[in-house]
Amino acid sequence: MAISDFDLIEAWRQVLSLSRLQAGQTVTMLTGPDTNPQTLRTAVVAARGLGATVCRLDLPPLNGEKSLSRDPLAYVGTTPLTGNPAAMAALKASDLVLDLMLLLFSPEQQEILESGTKILLAVEPPEILARLVPTPEDRERVEAAARRIEGAREMRVTSAAGTDLRCPIGQYPVVREYGFVDEPGRWDHWPSGFPLTWPNEGATEGRIVLDRGDILLPMKSYLQAPVEMTVEAGYVTAITGGLDADLLNDYMDSFGDPEGYAISHIGWGLQPRARWSTLSLYDREQTIAMDARAFAGNFLISLGPNTEVGGTRNTPCHIDIPMRRCTVALDGAEVVRDGRIVAEEVAP
């Protein structure tokens, strides 16, 4: 359903205020051919209204001939900023970059952040942005969950479907996604609402059993039957099941990159306003499915790159899998039980 410019401007004002945008600071709108025009024009109005200097950097598309999907997360790593020093200089000179293009999983993003520039990604449709406007309470929940992860040495995930996965943790930092950027050099994604980290390299072992209703991304499909993944020394070594397994195997094989099978980030959803069912209501090309990644109580496991936390695995293959009805325990203490958050300090 369409949303008015007025409502989206108000949403942007809240997000930019939470991001501590100050009068006189420079905001660069990073755009591409798929940038939503309403999101762009309302962001400009809101930033100007807060006294910021606004400019726009529009870049051409890339990787369309390589990707099997129109989803921007279907081929990651190489971006229009690769080998583009002029564009990089403009972004590093900005106080805040509003990424309306999708720069995720690129070395250039990390370089921009290291300069002190803040980056906020916002590519979902306007009505999803307005429904999932972040709040200070979102930040408090994510911070509390992140502290729990930081104090643990193992995340274990089990389910009645048969999942039993042991993930030693601590090698990599914990990423907090709560929807705004309130510190220099911070990246975040509006909408979101979850903590995540990467397991220790080569240490994850066990079995992942995806059940009916779990979601494969970027396929944007609900599984119709179970799919089993065998995990050895931090890599998925076998994917078995019915048609869904065949489709996933064929898609991942197309990259020809064994690093795409590595266990990437792990965490759980904390956003009470995100819904598991939302993906069924959208055309596949309308959304990148942040509701699926953030709905409260999911276990989100990913395959592929680790460049976001300083790793060297810059593979273009990235799979996100939000799973329902899992139990997540940190050093034996449950934080999610059968898909419901049980840790009081992080519960919505």
Which of 87, 109, 131 terminates a domain? The answer is 131
Q: What is the mean pLDDT of residues 1-14?
A: 96
3-state class of 303 per DSSP?
strand
Under the banding of pLDDT at 50, 70 and 90, the label for residue 339 is very high
Give the pLDDT of residue 181: 98
pLDDT (tens digit per residue) in 303-316? 999 988 988 898 99
221 and 155 in one domain? yes
Q: For residue 120, which of 179, 71, 80, 73 has the smallest C-alpha distance?
A: 179
Give the pLDDT of residue 64: 83
182 and 274 in one domain? yes
103 and 190 in one domain? no
Cβ 240 vs Cβ 228: under 8 Å: yes
Under the banding of pLDDT at 50, 70 and 90, the label for residue 220 is very high
C-alpha dist (Å) from residue 72 to 75, 180, 214:
7, 21, 21
Helix (H) or strand (E) holding 245: helix 243-253
* Calpha distance 81→293 (Å, rounded): 26
Under the banding of pLDDT at 50, 70 and 90, the label for residue 32 is very high
323 and 189 in one domain? yes
Under the banding of pLDDT at 50, 70 and 90, the label for residue 46 is very high
Give the pLDDT of residue 205: 98
259 and 325 in one domain? yes
172 and 117 in one domain? no
Which of 73, 104, 131 terminates a domain? The answer is 131
86 and 144 in one domain? no
Q: For residue 192, which of 134, 267, 127 has the smallest C-alpha distance?
A: 134
192 and 148 in one domain? yes
pLDDT at 344 over 80: no
C-alpha dist (Å) from residue 333 to 171, 209, 324, 325, 345:
20, 22, 19, 17, 13
Structure tokens given for 50: 């807060």
pLDDT (tens digit per residue) in 66-89? 888 888 888 887 889 999 999 999
- For the chain, the residue count is 348
Give the pLDDT of residue 67: 86
Looking up residue 27, the CATH number of its domain turns out to be: 3.40.1830.10
pLDDT (tens digit per residue) in 89-147? 999 999 999 999 998 888 899 999 999 999 999 999 999 999 999 999 999 999 999 99
* Calpha distance 250→244 (Å, rounded): 10
Under the banding of pLDDT at 50, 70 and 90, the label for residue 347 is low
Provide the domain count of the chain: 2
Under the banding of pLDDT at 50, 70 and 90, the label for residue 65 is confident
305 and 281 in one domain? yes
Dihedral of alpha carbons 176, 271, 281, 10, sign: negative
Host domain of residue 315: 136-346
Omega before residue 126 within 30° of 0, cis:
no
Q: What is the mean pLDDT of residues 209-220?
A: 97
Dihedral (Cα; 190, 194, 198, 204), 10-degree rounding: -140
144 and 37 in one domain? no
Which of 131, 154, 181 terminates a domain? The answer is 131
Q: For residue 212, which of 231, 195, 225 has the smallest C-alpha distance?
A: 225
Give the pLDDT of residue 107: 85
Q: What is the mean pLDDT of residues 247-273?
A: 97
312 and 172 in one domain? yes
Of the ranges 6-20, 81-95, 260-274, 332-346, which one carries the lowest mean pLDDT score? 332-346
Give the pLDDT of residue 68: 86
* Calpha distance 244→70 (Å, rounded): 19
142 and 124 in one domain? no
